[in-house]
């Protein structure tokens, strides 16, 4: 049994300044002000459009992110309609060699590879969670050994099962998703995934995500 924390990788090669310039080039068509484009005009133009709420112009740029999370979080992520998804399939992936689970943020246990027969004699909540992961893995492997197909054996796997999902959305949709999914009302595991993505975007791309704030005390 392998236990991991959620993580992400930005797959799109991002040039933040070029993204602003591309948005400006598209957006100025609306006003026929292309002649006002200079080497340094993109930032102010995009800032003004965001302030006005004219966000359709930022739909021209897409970002792809590979997310490692549990199946429960992935089920919520794919509810966002204006995205493209490619997800690890439990129908076709065979975990007979070992199952990987994502540690919830409220479970105090270190990531790593654990034997199937770990000491679970204490009655802590961490032990209870680990016990169920172990039993789920053993049950799955037994069903596979008995000839069940992965799409059949997956029925015993829990929400904590690790999944990998590649998510592509335009910048306007990313802003919408990150505004919702980093708020205090979002699920703690969703915030654990989305807050680092927001921080990466803010570091990589000027202007476009600066107004989406997560207070230090509000972080997952």
CB–CB of 189/70 below 8 Å?
yes
Three-state DSSP state, 11: coil
Measured CA distances, 56 to 14, 23, 30, 165 (Å):
20, 10, 11, 26
Q: Is 172 a catalytic residue?
A: no
Task: From the candidates 49, 71, 154, 181, give the one annotated as an active-site residue.
Answer: 181
CB 156, CB 139: distance < 8 Å = yes
Q: Cα–Cα distance between 140 and 199 in angstroms, integer? A: 37
Q: Scanning the structure block, which residue is given the tokens 């009655």?
A: 123
* Residues carrying an active site annotation: 181
């Amino acid at each position: 049994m392998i236990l991991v924390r959620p993580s992400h990788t930005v797959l799109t090669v991002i040039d933040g300044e070029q993204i602003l310039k591309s948005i400006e080039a598209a957006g100025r068509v609306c006003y026929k002000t292309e002649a006002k484009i200079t080497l340094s005009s993109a930032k102010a133009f995009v800032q003004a459009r965001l302030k006005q709420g004219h966000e359709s112009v930022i739909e021209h740029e897409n970002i792809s992110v590979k997310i490692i999370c549990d199946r429960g979080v992935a089920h919520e992520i794919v509810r966002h309609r204006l995205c493209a998804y490619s997800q690890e399939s439990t129908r076709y992936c065979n975990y007979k060699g070992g199952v990987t689970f994502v540690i919830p943020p409220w479970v105090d246990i270190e990531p790593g590879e654990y034997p199937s027969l770990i000491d679970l004699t204490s009655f802590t909540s961490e032990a209870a969670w680990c016990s169920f992961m172990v039993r789920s893995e053993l049950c799955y492997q037994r069903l596979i050994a008995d000839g069940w197909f992965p799409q059949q054996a997956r029925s015993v796997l829990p929400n904590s099962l690790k999944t990998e999902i590649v998510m592509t959305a335009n910048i306007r949709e990313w802003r919408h998703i990150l505004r919702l999914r980093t708020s205090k009302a979002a699920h703690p595991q969703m915030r654990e995934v989305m807050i680092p993505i927001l921080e990466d975007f803010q570091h990589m791309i000027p202007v476009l995500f600066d107004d989406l704030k997560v207070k230090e005390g509000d972080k997952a």
